[in-house]
């Protein structure tokens, strides 16, 4: 099945698929800035997104994964980026997240970003392994940094440096 998955840039037609993907509780909880998960929200997001900085994985017409690269607007951190990867539960462990992340890291390299960060929750072992396999190293823990439901969770600070 991995050969049948299409990886492409985010487009306006993917709004409904992104809303459906974010109906999965763990994906919704990981998206800390998402207040309202709706097709309208994702249409607005896509309209404002930087072309090529968001990628989706499509299988049989459905969005099964999404990844984004955020760059820092402030001069002092203009060499940094932040990545987020989300894959539907039934499509995990098939390499979808790896391919999405590798594509974002290639973009980061093209942009000459020196530092790429990710902050999964401490209990998200699969995400931590995904990032570690691509050269990310753990730098610390942000205690109680993310609210998930009624609980405060720790985030793990991960980073990949282009050079030391």
What is the C-alpha to C-alpha distance for residues 110 and 15, in angstroms, rounded to an integer? 27
pLDDT for the residue numbered 28: 62
Question: Of all residues in the chain, what percent carry a pLDDT higher than 70?
Answer: 90
pTM: 0.86
pLDDT for the residue numbered 145: 85
Would you call 16 helix, strand, or coil by DSSP? helix
Q: Is residue 140 part of a domain?
A: no
Q: How many CA atoms lie within 13 A of 130 on its CB side?
A: 25
Q: Is residue 125 part of a domain?
A: no
> Tell me, what CATH number does 73's domain have?
3.40.630.30
Q: Is residue 34 part of a domain?
A: yes
Overall number of domains in the chain: 1
For residue 32, pLDDT beyond 70 = no
For residue 147, pLDDT beyond 70 = yes
Q: Is residue 136 part of a domain?
A: no
Find the mean pLDDT for residues 43-52. 84
Q: Is residue 41 part of a domain?
A: yes
What is the C-alpha to C-alpha distance for residues 2 and 92, in angstroms, rounded to an integer? 11
Q: Is residue 66 part of a domain?
A: yes
Q: Is residue 86 part of a domain?
A: yes
What is the C-alpha to C-alpha distance for residues 106 and 85, in angstroms, rounded to an integer? 15
Q: State the residue range of the domain holding 36.
A: 2-117
pLDDT for the residue numbered 38: 72
Find the mean pLDDT for residues 127-148. 93
Model pLDDT for residues 60-118, shown as the tens digit of each residue = 999 999 999 988 778 888 899 999 999 998 898 889 999 999 999 999 999 999 999 99
Q: Is residue 20 part of a domain?
A: yes
Find the mean pLDDT for residues 129-147. 93
């Amino acid at each position: 099945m991995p050969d049948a998955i299409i990886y492409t840039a985010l487009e306006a037609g993917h709004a409904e698929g992104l809303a459906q993907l974010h109906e999965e509780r763990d994906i919704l909880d990981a998206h800390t800035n998402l207040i309202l998960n709706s097709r309208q929200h994702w249409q607005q997001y896509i309209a404002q997104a930087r072309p090529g900085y968001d990628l989706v994985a499509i299988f049989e017409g459905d969005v099964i994964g999404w990844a984004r690269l955020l760059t820092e607007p402030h001069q002092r951190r203009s060499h940094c980026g932040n990545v987020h990867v989300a894959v539907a539960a039934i499509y995990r462990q098939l390499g979808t997240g790896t391919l999405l992340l590798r594509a974002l890291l290639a973009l980061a390299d093209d942009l000459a970003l020196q530092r790429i960060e990710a902050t999964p929750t401490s209990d998200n072992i699969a995400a931590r392994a995904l990032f570690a396999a691509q050269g990310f190293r753990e730098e610390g823990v942000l205690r109680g940094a993310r609210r998930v439901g009624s609980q405060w969770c720790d985030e793990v600070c991960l980073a990949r440096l282009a050079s030391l």
